[in-house]
Structure 1
Amino acid sequence: MSLGDDREGQTRTRLPDAGGDVYGGARRGGRSSSRSMITVVGVVVLLIAAIAFANRGGDGSGASAGDENKPDASSTAATGTRPVKGKSAGIPGGYGHDEQGAQSAAANYAVALGSADMFNTTTRHAIVDTVYAPDVAASRQADLDNAYSSEQFLTNIGLDKNGAAPSGQTFVSRVIPVGTKVTSYSASSTSVEVWYTSLFGLSGDGSKNPVSESWYTTTYQLKWIENDWKVTDFQQKDGPVPVGRDQRASTADDMTKAVEEFGGFTYAR
Structure 2
Amino acid sequence: MNLISLFDAAGNKIDVSKYGLTGSGLVIPSPSYREERDSTPGRPGDILLGRDLEPRQLRAPFRVKAYDYESALLVRDELYALFSKAMYVGETKQPGKWWKVRMVEGFTPVRVSPTVFKIDVPLHCESGMAESFGTTGDALTWDVDKWQWGMGLSPDEFGYEKSASRFIIHNPGTETVNPRFMPLIISLKGVAASFVEIINHTTGETFCFNGALNASNTLSLNGVRPLLDGLSELRRTNKKLITLAPGANDIEVKGVAVERIFFDFRFYYV
Shared fold, TM over 0.5: no
Counting strand residues as a fraction of each chain, which structure ranks higher? 2
Q: Pick the TM interval, shorter chain.
A: under 0.3
Q: Normalised by the size of structure 2, how large is the TM-score?
A: 0.24
Q: Normalised by the size of structure 1, how large is the TM-score?
A: 0.24
